[in-house]
Amino acid sequence: MKKIFLLFAIIILFQSCFSYKAIDNDPTKMETGKTYKIERNNKYSKVVFHNVKDNTILVSEDFEEKQIPINDITDIQKRKLSVVKTVALPLSIIAGLVGLFALSYN
């Protein structure tokens, strides 16, 4: 029984309130200060967008400012708050825990 509660606790802790939505590969449409997931060389990195300069974009990644060439970017996804993940998932997990508690005392 303790393992089940531990499993649900881990699920709650590792769930995310955000999801990423694909946008056009046009860095001029990106908003300053927003978080994006950028794919380049088949690797994704989470960055905070700052500015567009010539053929590069200026971003912060892991507290370092970096310049990424626009030609290297294959996909851009914008971070978006997910209401379902924020509200429904924790409520369904709590309901499941209450149901398990009720079944264990019968």
* CA 66 vs CA 47, 59, 81: distances in Å: 9, 5, 25
Q: Which amino acid is at 96?
A: G
Whole-number pLDDT of residue 2: 73
Rounded distance, CA 69 to CA 92, Å? 43
Instruction: Encode pLDDT of 33-83 as tens digits.
Output: 999 999 998 899 999 999 998 899 999 999 899 999 999 999 999 988 777
Q: What is the mean pLDDT of residues 9-36?
A: 80
Domains and CATH numbers, the chain: 1-17+83-106 (no CATH), 19-81 (2.30.30)
More confident residue, 92 or 50: 50
Whole-number pLDDT of residue 13: 64
